Amino acid sequence: MNLHEYQGKQILNSFGVDIQRGIVAQTADEAVEAAKKLTEETGTGWHVIKAQVHAGGRGKGGGVKLAKNLDEVKELAGQIIGMNLITPQTSAEGKKVHQVLVAEDVYYPGDNEPEEYYMSVLLNRATGRNMIMYSTEGGMDIETVAEETPHLIFTEEIDPAAGLLPFQARRIAFNLGLSGVAFKGMVKFVNALYTAYVKSDSSLFEINPVLKTSDDRVIAVDAKVTLDGNALYRHKDYLEMRDKREENPVEVEAGEVGLNYVDLDGNVGCMVNGAGLAMATMDLIKQAGGEPANFLDVGGTADAERVETAFNLILKDPNVKAILVNIFGGIVRCDRVAQGIVDAYKNMGTINVPIIVRLQGTNADIAKDLIDNSGLDVQSAIEFQEAADKVQAVLA
């Protein structure tokens, strides 16, 4: 589950990670109130107004702006709230901004220049260990750094039994070129960050930039936090942080009825039981010259009601030109699924795209007869390839 920056920072701070402080606001007036309150708490006169959407690169898209007085807070918050923010990480249509974070300006002048670093915590799937990835080249595109100057990105792998060891946190601070107060601050920051990552059951932290302020404090200015959805039952309070407005509406709807649906860009809708078979089905659709419009695992019970719900979800996508149903009847009997498809189809009236149904396994032959004798515009197949060929034929 992805979080907004302000929510991510809240979690970080609850584990002792120092952050750029801020208050979230839904309107320009609330932003002004937030700025006043922050001034009381922090003494800052300048504020940054930051669009809260589930996408990075907001600065580049005009979603992060500096306000030097309350009039500017009001004006900039008014501009950003309601805007359609287009960044390198959104689709071409962009994302609608519903709220902003009013944050203290932390790039104030002082004895030293502020410096921006990159830091993330994530699982290295190749080694099965968490790692901290970091770089002196923060603030900008880490992707470009990885491509052009990969030697400037360091990693620290963490032994799951021992945890983050003191020498590792010191090595990070050393590699970032720090000394004195900033060195100590970074060691503390890294320790708190890693604790937060483990205790919150996160699957990704990306802090870009981590800032060394002009007076040598080390703080998180940005926070991209992804929580592990499978561990959310342990964090009821985090569950409330979900913002469905940021998610694909069809995926949200599918989740509510217990279907595993992922929206994709293609033209062939798929309804499959089992994630592995769904992946194989998407491969076969590609081989047949189509592109999958979705991943959909209907799971073990493919009765009429569930099939109808699944058809309705698939048909919400206007790009769908054909639907391929691919069910392996292991525990569920093929004839029951076939009956479910026939009932759902009849119940829905007309479906304007061709449907190809491939049922294999227990009672597959009875199921095929059921489909073929239903009088509906549904083509049946028993072999996988046969189904793919039929998809190719309807797309041609």
Nearer to ligand GDP, 20 or 203 (CB): 20
- From 12, 17, 34, 48, residue interacting with ligand GDP (rule: CB under 6 A): 48
**Residue 104 in contact with Mn ion, rule: CB under 5 A:** no
Nearest approach in angstroms of CB 34 to ligand GDP is: 14
The listed partner (Mn ion, ligand GDP, none) that binds 317, CB under 5 to 8 Å by sort, is none
* 22, two tokens: 């801020």
Please pick, among 206, 238, 261, 345, the residue that the annotation labels catalytic. 206
- From 45, 57, 94, 361, residue interacting with ligand GDP (rule: CB under 6 A): 57
Q: Are strands 84-85 and 95-96 parallel, antiparallel or unpaired?
A: antiparallel
Nearest approach in angstroms of CB 148 to ligand GDP is: 18
Are the C-beta atoms of 197 and 121 separated by less than 8 Å? yes
What b/e string do you get for 176-195 counting C-beta neighbours within 10 Å, with b at 16 or more?
Answer: bebeeebbebbbbbbbbbbe
Nearest approach in angstroms of CB 274 to ligand GDP is: 38
Window contacting ligand GDP (CB under 6 A); options: 50-58, 172-180, 275-283, 286-294 = 50-58
Question: Around Cβ 65, how many Cβ atoms within 10 Å?
Answer: 20
Which residues fall within 8 angstroms of residue 202, CB to CB, at 6 or more apart?
121, 196, 225, 226, 227, 228
Contact string 2-31 vs ligand GDP (x = CB under 6 A): ------------------x-----------
Q: Is 185 helix (H, G, I), strand (E, B) or coil?
A: helix
The listed partner (Mn ion, ligand GDP, none) that binds 105, CB under 5 to 8 Å by sort, is ligand GDP
Nearest approach in angstroms of CB 222 to ligand GDP is: 3
- From 27, 36, 59, 315, residue interacting with ligand GDP (rule: CB under 6 A): 59
The Cα 338–Cα 381 span in angstroms is: 12
Nearest approach in angstroms of CB 64 to Mn ion is: 8
Nearer to ligand GDP, 193 or 324 (CB): 193
To the query of whether residue 118 is one of the catalytic residues in this protein, the response is yes
Nearer to ligand GDP, 57 or 78 (CB): 57
Nearest approach in angstroms of CB 247 to ligand GDP is: 18
Runs of H (alpha helix) within the chain: 5-14, 28-42, 70-80, 142-148, 166-175, 180-199, 236-239, 249-256, 275-287, 304-315, 334-348, 364-372, 384-395
- What residues between 208 and 227 interact with Mn ion by CB under 5 A? 208, 222
Are the C-beta atoms of 273 and 297 separated by less than 8 Å? yes
Closest by Cα among 203, 45, 37 to 120: 203
Nearest approach in angstroms of CB 301 to Mn ion is: 44
The Cα 189–Cα 210 span in angstroms is: 9
- From 100, 221, 271, 298, residue interacting with ligand GDP (rule: CB under 6 A): 221
The listed partner (ligand GDP, Mn ion, none) that binds 48, CB under 5 to 8 Å by sort, is ligand GDP
**Residue 5 in contact with Mn ion, rule: CB under 5 A:** no
**Residue 41 in contact with ligand GDP, rule: CB under 6 A:** no
Nearer to ligand GDP, 219 or 271 (CB): 219
Question: Around Cβ 315, how many Cβ atoms within 10 Å?
Answer: 15
Biggest distance spanned by C-alpha atoms of the chain: 83
Please pick, among 5, 104, 116, 118, the residue that the annotation labels catalytic. 118
* 348, two tokens: 């829905």
Q: Is 280 left (phi over 0), alpha (psi -120 to 50) or beta?
A: alpha
The listed partner (Mn ion, ligand GDP, none) that binds 292, CB under 5 to 8 Å by sort, is none
Distance from the first to the final alpha carbon of the chain: 39
* Cα-based torsion angle of the residue sequence 299, 303, 309, 312 in order, rounded to the nearest 10 degrees: 110
- Interface contacts to ligand GDP, rule CB under 6 A: 20, 48, 50, 56-59, 64, 66, 103, 105-107, 139, 208-209, 221-222
Catalytic machinery residues: 118, 206
- Interface contacts to Mn ion, rule CB under 5 A: 208, 222
